[in-house]
Structure 1
Amino acid sequence: MTDFEPKSLRSYSQEDVQKILQFAIARQADDQNKEFSYEQLVEIATELEISPECLNLAEHDWRSQASEIQQRRAFDNYRLTRFKKRFGNYAIINGCLMLVDFIGGGGLSWSLYILLFWGMTVGLDVWNTFQAKGEEYEVAFQKWNRKHQFKQTINTILNKWFKAWQT
């Protein structure tokens, strides 16, 4: 599409309209931290002839998606923290074993075998920790998410029980 075409002949797909409006809203905002009120959102939707029901469903979908993104970030942070702990354990224990081997025998012999074999498991742990796509990642995320939700439910029940017990 060129700039020389008459405006009445131009047509856009739904995806193109979304992108163009996204760019326009971003340019209209003086800074990226500008927030819009719910009333402004309703006004924009009304001007675009979007029904209030459709807007509410879209907002619900957006909240769900944002919540899942936040949960995935928490899961990735959990995996990274767990990896750092395991790697720290690996480094400390193998460092101590190498020191004992060096002091005891004047060189390194048997500790290198432990370092090598345990190092392979650390390598696999690196692979599993930093691979953020695929079926294994999804299974691990779902398992973590169920466990996390279960803990939240138990905490909520216990907090309500303690509050009721205190009064």
Structure 2
Amino acid sequence: MTTEPKSLHSYSQEDVQRILQLAIARQADDQNKEFSYEQLLEIATELDISPSSLNLAEQDWRSQCSEIQQRQAFKTYRISRFKKRVGNYAIVNGFLIMLDLVTGGGLTWSLYILLFCGLTLGLDVWNTFQTKGEEYEIAFQKWYRQHQIKQTINTVVSRWFKALQI
């Protein structure tokens, strides 16, 4: 096995990013520590990264974190909405089956309703757990706009109530 001197190695920018990311993650795991902004700035300076580039990267990172949190909230919203629909399906179809049993002495017409509702529930399963594609993005954007409007209204109403209390 031959080993090259380390000074002869060359790395692409992508390789450098991966190596440094792994090294920082390993160091953070070993020491279970967080980095201060000053330490981040020092590392960036050593890598010849300007403070303005670091600030822009940090802003991008914060917006990505915010979007990840929003997408997680959207996923939670869709799952809770789905659970509510499954509950409604179970209650309504349970009632209809009981009604069919009591009135007809067996299961007849309620099975058709059960199957039809089961088909719509199956489509709802598909739509709820499909997290890729254009339809998902459209649904997310619609939910996000509604979420932003609700937050704005809540902020305005809160300020209005605070103004009335003074």
TM bucket (normalised to shorter chain) is over 0.9
Code of the residue aligned with 2:34 in structure 1: it is: E
Partner of residue 103, structure 1: 102
**What are the ranges of 5 or more consecutive residues in structure 1 without an aligned counterpart?**
none
Q: How does 1:154-165 map to 2 (within 5 A)?
A: 154-165=153-164
Partner deviation per Cα, 1:26-63 (whole Å, 9 max, x = no partner): 12124585211111111111111110000000000000
Partner deviation per Cα, 1:115-149 (whole Å, 9 max, x = no partner): 00111111110000000000000000000000000
Partner of residue 166, structure 1: 165
Q: Give 4+ residue runs of structure 1 displaced > 6 Å after superposition.
A: none
Partner of residue 62, structure 1: 61
Partner of residue 45, structure 1: 44
CA distance in 2, matches of 1:96, 1:32: 59
Residue identity over aligned pairs, in percent, reads 75
- Preserved contact between residue 75 and residue 144 of structure 1 (Cα < 8 Å): yes
Code of the residue aligned with 1:123 in structure 2: it is: G
CA distance in 1, matches of 2:164, 2:40: 44
Code of the residue aligned with 1:114 in structure 2: it is: I
CA distance in 1, matches of 2:139, 2:51: 38
Count matched residues: 166
Instruction: Flag the 1:114–1:45 CA change in 2: closer, same or farther, 3 A.
Output: same
CA distance in 2, matches of 1:33, 1:128: 40
CA distance in 1, matches of 2:161, 2:40: 41
CA distance in 1, matches of 2:73, 2:155: 19
Partner of residue 89, structure 2: 90
CA distance in 2, matches of 1:153, 1:38: 31
Report the secondary structure of 2:107's partner residue. coil
Question: Does 1:148 find its partner at 2:147?
Answer: yes
TM-score (normalised: structure 1)? 0.95
Cα displacement (A) at 1:3: 6.9
Q: Which moved more, 1:132-141 or 1:3-12?
A: 3-12
**What are the ranges of 5 or more consecutive residues in structure 2 without an aligned counterpart?**
none
Q: CA RMSD in A?
A: 1.5
Cα displacement (A) at 1:104: 1.6
Cα displacement (A) at 1:166: 1.1
Q: Which moved more, 1:143-152 or 1:23-32?
A: 23-32
Code of the residue aligned with 1:93 in structure 2: it is: V
Q: How does 1:127-138 map to 2 (within 5 A)?
A: 127-138=126-137
CA distance in 2, matches of 1:3, 1:22: 27
